[in-house]
Amino acid sequence: MTGYGKGVVEYDNKRISVEIRSLNSKQLDNSLKMPSTYREQEFLLRQKISKALVRGKVDTFVNVELLDQKRSLPVNKELFEDYYNQLSSINNDINKGADFMQAILQLPGVLQAEKKEIEQGEWDALHEAVGIAIEEITKFRVQEGNVMITDLLKRIETIRDLKIKIEPFEKERIETIKNRIHENMEKIVVDYDNNRLEQEMIFYIEKLDVTEEKVRLENHLNYFCEICEKEDNVGRKLGFVTQEIGREINTLGSKSNNSEMQKIVVNMKDELEKIKEQVLNIL
């Protein structure tokens, strides 16, 4: 499911900000980008995010900003002089004047912040920021999920209404089939056993009966609604139920033997395809 959440926590001289973005995906694809100084917490953070978000293409970005930029960083004088001497030598060889001061300060290792072991308070601040971001994105996803569930239930009701519209054509097609068989038999100039003909017609019409399919379809539709209303993390379960709904609709189509019934079945399949697309985006 799509969503966005951001958490910001300040600790000591640092502002730790965490952004989490998610896109629709069948599985969980958890990507985490963070400063190298926080790498030892990567596994725990991934676990925390995976447990909370479950599904989707999730990108998490951790950024650290110094609040007091006036604090000066110590200069590595030996390294600075080494860079300066090398650049000066090259400059003399090509006879060009240049000011290396600012350039040298940007080179790796010249300005070095004092390395300190990260305090527990900073780790707590990092996890707090992640927790806030997870809470925000969860609210976003819940809101979107409620809208999607409402849409799914409407489409389920549409399929239910279409199922009811099939019923008038069931009786009509049976009478049509009987009349067609009698007309064809009258064209055959041979004697036949009328009782045996009636038995064969009963067997044939029983094969076209869709009562069982309608009952199973109704049960699947009811179960779909029940899952939506009473359970959490329903995405995969709804996916299984839509497969069962599809089987019953396909059987209705194969047994319809009537153009109007087939049109209704096509509309039912169209609604079901839209439901399947939506279900892929639900946790």
Q: Where are the domains of the chain?
A: 152-279
What is the model's pTM?
Answer: 0.61
Cα–Cα distance between 93 and 100 in angstroms, integer?
A: 15
DSSP-assigned states of every residue in 203-263: HHHHHH--HHHHHHHHHHHHHHHHHHHH-SS-HHHHHHHHHHHHHHHHHHHHHH-SHHHHH
Cα–Cα distance between 102 and 1 in angstroms, integer?
A: 47
Nearest residue to 90 (alpha-carbon basis) of 77, 103, 109, 74: 103
The string over 83-113, giving b where at least 16 C-beta atoms fall within 10 Å of a residue's C-beta and e elsewhere, is beeeeeeeeeeeeeeeebeeebeeeeebbee
DSSP state of 72: P
Side by side, the strands of the sheet bearing 56-66 are 3-11, 14-23, 56-66, 28-33
Nearest residue to 61 (alpha-carbon basis) of 143, 5, 115: 5
Question: pLDDT tens, position by position, for the chain (283 residues)?
Answer: 688 999 999 998 889 999 999 987 778 899 999 988 899 999 999 999 999 988 889 999 999 888 865 555 677 778 888 888 887 877 776 666 556 677 776 676 666 555 567 889 999 999 999 999 999 999 998 888 888 889 999 999 999 999 999 888 877 777 777 777 767 766 776 666 677 766 766 666 667 778 888 999 999 999 999 998 887 778 788 989 999 999 999 998 888 777 888 899 999 999 999 999 888 777 6
pLDDT, residue 232, reads 73
- DSSP-derived 3-state class of residue 73: coil
Cα–Cα distance between 138 and 82 in angstroms, integer?
A: 53
Strand locations in the chain (E): 3-11, 14-23, 28-33, 56-66
pLDDT, residue 115, reads 54
Cα–Cα distance between 144 and 150 in angstroms, integer?
A: 10
